Amino acid sequence: MQQQPSPYSVHVFVCVNDRHGERKSCAEGGAADWIARLKERVQQNPLLKGRVRVSACGCLGLCAQGPNLLLHPQGLWFSGVGADDLGRVLAAIEARAGVPPTSDEVPSRGAI
Ligand code: FES
């Protein structure tokens, strides 16, 4: 086994858990779309590429508040994210990764 620091400045975990309507879950809130959109934005920005990783993950435990995503190691948690929140989440990611903002969005309170 090898132990090492994370190679990423920001690792974004997006819950994609799907309970198929049995209970509320992040998948029904468009989590798959969030992954695609965030990955696309990271790939488009050479300053983020390689420093920020976007990964799908299982249940983060706050299902009723979903869709949920988490920035690691910052411990920033976003709940109830909607399509209109992409700019704000991206701004928080950029601030944490130490790269200039690409939009006029202001990072969520407490995100920087
Ligand atoms: S289903 Fe996403 S936090 Fe539980």
Mind listing the pLDDT tens digit for each residue in 58-103?
999 999 999 999 999 999 999 999 988 999 999 999 999 999 988 7
Residue linked to tokens 């858990």: 17
How far apart are the two ends of the chain, measured CA to CA in Å?
A: 34
Contact 42, 96 (CB under 8 A): no
- Does ligand 1 lie within 6 Å of residue 68's CB atom? yes
Atom of ligand 1 nearest to the CA of 60: 3
Q: Is the CB of 14 under 6 A from ligand 1?
A: no
Of residues 68 and 29, the one with the higher pLDDT is 68
The band of 104, judged by pLDDT with boundaries at 50, 70 and 90, is low
pLDDT score at 43: 95
Q: Looking at the whole model, is its pTM more than 0.85?
A: yes
Q: What's residue 30's pLDDT?
A: 86
| φ, ψ (nearest 5 deg) of residue 62 | -110, 55
Residue with CA nearest ligand 1 atom 1:
25
Q: Which domains does the chain have, with CATH numbers?
A: 10-97 (3.40.30.10)
CA of 35 relative to ligand 1 center, distance in Å: 14
- Which ligand 1 atom sits nearest the alpha carbon of residue 17? 1
The region that residue 66 occupies, defined by phi over 0 for left and psi between -120 and 50 for alpha, beta otherwise, is beta
pLDDT on residue 106: 58
